Structure 1
Amino acid sequence: MMKKLILLVLITFMTSAIHSQGKSKEKEAPKDYSENVSTINSTINSLYAAISGEKGKKRDWALFKYLFHPDGKLITSGKNDESKFQIRYMKPDDYVKSSGKWIVDNGFIEKEVHRAVDAFGNMAQVFSTFEAFQSEKDEEPFMRGINSIQLLNDGTRWWIVNVFWDNEDRRNPIPRNYLPK
């Protein structure tokens, strides 16, 4: 009798656990990010929002990845150890793997301070000048640069095709026409 009672309790517990797992999966329906990509403005603002946050704040990597065309890339530029100019291509997943932990652990808030948009047909080129901070409390950015963002409108939404950026340094200052007026 005791064995049957224990077996009944275990079956009830397991059934309840399986049932509650099914319910939690039902609640985790994908978010509707369609408003985030309805305009050039909403797409660019969503890009900055997805990667920005105080130290320890989780980022919305699902939104970040949603912004990019399936063939979209992030391209960073800079000099290697031999002072030769080079670029590195990344898929959104590569960016999350290489930088995601650092920006959450250290805080990373990228703010757009100027935007220049050129568009024709279903394509757009955005030069977006940014300042990066580790906290909203910081008075001075630790980095500045320009994101060159290419977008495609497929008739339904805007897709980020590429984000190609370069950081400012003393030999490579941001031109005045890409700074706030």
Structure 2
Amino acid sequence: MHQRQVDEMTTVRAGVVPTQRAALYSVLGILATVAVCGSFVVSFGVHRVFTGLLAGAVVGVALLAALFTRDAVVLTDYAIYRRKPWTMSSISWDRVVAGRFTLDERARWSLALDLSGGDEPHGELVLLSIPPVVRPVAGAYDLRKRDQVTEIRAILRRKRIPVTVLPQIAGALQEHWQIAPPAH
């Protein structure tokens, strides 16, 4: 399926960029900044180093934004698409066994799908990893994460995917973000 077709469907963006890929993207952003700054210094002399740094920072940030934006999991009514800057693969909803909202190894809340078959590590696809919710929505980050939880929950409900939520997570989501616990 072409990228334009994926974007035109009803979609929910999710996904967690693994630490190794985030480090690679950061290195690429720094290299882009250094390359542009170096080009300015070579072309215009040492007195243009600050102009080079500014131009390099703009290019580096733009590159980082492009890489992190492209690296995502997109849930549609037809399939789950895992996008990376250089590839896109799809996972059929038939492979999704269940979902779970639990604590991960870093004490963050992790919303993941358990998958049957395939090449995913441990047969799971992590959709969201957020710090524990301990207060009402306090800014844009909290609002976006609350919206993501709501959107992911809605599509999983439509697909009739059972989701297990730890009681302390369900309680905090209901108390602070007004997200009702899943119906059984």
Higher helix share: 2
Higher strand share: 1
Which has the higher Rg, Structure 1 or Structure 2? 1
